[in-house]
A and B are shown apart, each in its own frame.
Chain A
Amino acid sequence: MYDAVYPFLIEPFAKMWTDMPLFFAETVISGVMAGVMYSLVALGFVLIYKASGIFNFAQGVLALFAALTLTGIMDNFGAPGWLAIILTVAIMFGLAWLIQKLVFNHLINQEPIILFMATLGLAYFLEGAGDIMWGSDVKVVNLGIPQGASQWLLDGPGLYVEKLEIVAAVTAAILVTALTIFFQKTRIGRALRAVADDHQAAMSVGISLEKIWIVVWAVAGLVALVAGIMWGTKSGVQFSLSLIALKALPVLILGGFTSVPGAIVGGLIIGVGEKIAEVYWGPALGGAIENWFAYMLALAFLLFRPQGLFGEKIIERV
């Protein structure tokens, strides 16, 4: 009995205590950083779900597609980084327009599950199209984003922190701030919030739903590009990049589908929880638990708050 319980209930906490503060801090920091990366993907989901009620499974593939396009332009045409980014943004905007015109304009008023399936089809399409256009070999993102351990933190308090993760965290912070300003202060942003609140009311004051949806897909494409660059720099641009969508899903249900702060906080909780579980409980469970642990963690939160931490309260009427 003791042998069975010890590695789960006592040893991890004892280890955490003896690891204080350095290794434990490193674990938490790297968890926070990983969480920020998850949030980047989750943000795209939230934006689209809020505005159009589409559960966009293609967000991960969108990130892959953006990263593939970026590296494709840089490798094949020798374009400098800034130009490639501008071109990719333009392509993502064009893609947003196409997606809205060709797919979702024809699926207005369908059941949510049909829309979800359509985004899965979209995911297949983009995955194949990206590979056909730019080849399926693993590519490297050469944007000069610093990598390796941060010397400054290593020398000072002796913490091992990846530079890339710091860059990602700062970028995410800038992105979220920019998005918040965009939503709060600009005309389009206000229209977007109106649409998120109530489609019919928004239409009745003269907001074009179609235009807003294109904008939302474009913004999601932009977020996907940032996520693609960060994940691509970390582990190369390849098919597995699209699987980060699966990492972002528990973040989403934990934070709530409709909440931007939820995506951020959820990302941090999942990131830190996952890292700690992996380091302290992983060995006792035989490792590789990161695939399902995030889901179980999110599920535990959901049992208490079925709409996620920051999701709108579900009010049901007959």
Chain B
Amino acid sequence: MFYRETGQYRTDYASDQQILNLPQDKWAMALLLAVAFLVVPLLINDYWANAILLPFLIYSMAALGLNILTGYCGQVSLGTGGFMAVGAYAAYKLMTAFPGLDLTIVVLFAGFVTAAVGTVFGLPSLRIKGFYLAVATLAAQFFLVWLFNKVPWFFNYSATGMISAPARTAFGLEVSGPQAPIWAKYLFCLTLVTVFALIAKNITRGRIGRMWMAIRDMDIAAELIGVRPLWSKLSAFAVSSFYVGMAGAMLFAVWLGAVEPTEAFGITVSFNVLFMVIIGGLGSILGSFLGAGFLVLLPILLKSVLVGGLAMTVATAKHVELVLLGSLIILFLIAEPHGLNRLWQITKEKLRLWPFPY
């Protein structure tokens, strides 16, 4: 009743090509952004930020990156954890080498470094396809984590082999290090994620995005109509790694503050991000956010219900959590293989018709 297209005419190309071309959608998005930017920073506390909001934003960024590669260009990658590690270590080296550098620039530059590394590891994709490629990207995962464990230059010869983020500022606000106010950290991540989600949306619906999708749907046919596979696959790897690297840099510098590569960037991270992309919906920007939110919230919910609600010991709860997580994932894949994004579209469709059934 309230969500109708009827009577809303689009009379020129510009209005037809807007991302959100219904006023209702525009208002909803404006409201969402207003709440996220203006209200949440006032109410935020340490627990909410560190357990839910920061991981949600950072994993959304990583999921965006992987979705570009897997969802739009069809190249399955299991090396996300390794590429996040590249971003984190690039950020660390920059932060310690240039103390005065603005953290925004550090994060962006970490993204560029990761994009270069990702392009190199994307080279086999020109010859190898499907699951062979997925397994081949595991080489990147294991090699990169090993590299950051073994070469002392990366962790500045520190005795523990860990890296920890020094206090740095972005636009005059302190956003990294233990003293940084939590709302500043949140706003920093939120701004970056919002800006780059918008960029991703526009890349994917433009010429480059269509090129990727052509390669995804059938690479030989795409090649025949003049899409260059080398250029499109490598650009997908580069853009994807750029996002993933920024996520890694933020994860290290803003959220965790100190990381150890094997644990923070292990293969579980790669699988988790892939889950986010698939549960959210392959080939959708919104889906990346929904998937990240789902997989960040689900373990917290399960844990609080099992330990808090049913009074299980932490060890048992961990096993039960695994069982439930596994079954929920399978259930979800059976119920809606196209992900949360598809569910959202169905809801919108229903809303359009409501309250009439047809």
Contacts and interface: CB of A to CB of B under 8 A. Distances in A.
Contact of B323 (A107, A120, A125, A317): A125
Contacts of B127: 302-303, 306
A249 B132 CA distance: 9
A151 B326 CA distance: 46
Contacts of B76: 113
Interface residues of B, number: 48
B143 A117 contact: no
Contacts of A112: 130-131
A118 B319 contact: no
A122 B333 CA distance: 12
A308 to B, nearest CB: 7
Contacts of B136: 253, 295, 298-299, 302
Interface stretch (B45-53, B216-224, B247-255, B350-358): B216-224
A62 B218 CA distance: 34
Interface in A257-293: 257, 285-289, 291-292
B326 A124 contact: yes
A121 B70 CA distance: 19
Given A128-B320, A253-B132, 12 more contacts: A55-B131, A110-B337, A113-B282, A117-B329, A121-B328, A136-B319, A253-B136, A257-B132, A299-B136, A302-B132, A303-B124, A318-B220
B322 interface: yes
Interface stretch (B102-110, B189-197, B270-278): B270-278
Given A128-B321, A299-B139, A121 B329 contact: yes
Contact of B330 (A103, A131, A291, A292): A103
Contacts of B221: 318
A161 interface: no
B135 A125 contact: no
B227 to A, nearest CB: 13
Nearest to B267: A246
B82 to A, nearest CB: 10
A111 B337 CA distance: 9
B157 interface: no
A292 B82 CA distance: 12
A195 interface: no
B26 interface: no
Given A106-B334, A114-B333, A318 B224 contact: yes
Nearest to B123: A303
Interface in B195-240: 218, 220-221, 224
Q: From DSSP, what is the main secondary structure of chain A's interface residues?
A: helix
B21 interface: no
Contact of B132 (A118, A125, A307): A307
B129 A306 contact: yes
B28 to A, nearest CB: 30
Interface residues of A, number: 51
Interface string B295-333: 000000000000000000001100111111111111001
B220 A121 contact: no
B323 A292 contact: no
B278 A125 contact: no
A127 B322 contact: yes
Interface of A: 55, 103, 106-107, 110-114, 116-118, 120-129, 131-132, 136, 246, 249-250, 252-253, 257, 285-289, 291-292, 295-296, 298-299, 302-303, 306-308, 314, 316-318
B275 A117 contact: yes
B124 to A, nearest CB: 6
Nearest to A285: B150
A125 B327 contact: yes
A112 B76 CA distance: 11
Contacts of B324: 128
B128 interface: yes
Interface string B125-168: 00111111011101100110110011100000000000000000
B326 A246 contact: no
A48 to B, nearest CB: 13
Contacts of A136: 315, 319
Nearest to B78: A249
Nearest to A128: B322
B334 A103 contact: yes
Interface string B48-76: 00000000000000000000001000001
B271 A120 contact: yes
A131 B325 contact: no
Contacts of B282: 113
A117 B282 CA distance: 13
B323 A132 contact: yes
Contact of B319 (A132, A249, A253, A299): A132
A55 B151 CA distance: 34
11 contacts: A114-B337, A121-B327, A123-B326, A124-B322, A128-B324, A136-B315, A136-B319, A249-B138, A291-B142, A292-B139, A296-B139
Interface in B71-117: 76
A117 B270 CA distance: 12
Contacts of B323: 124-125, 128-129, 132
B240 to A, nearest CB: 16
A107 B333 contact: yes
Contacts of B146: 288-289, 291-292
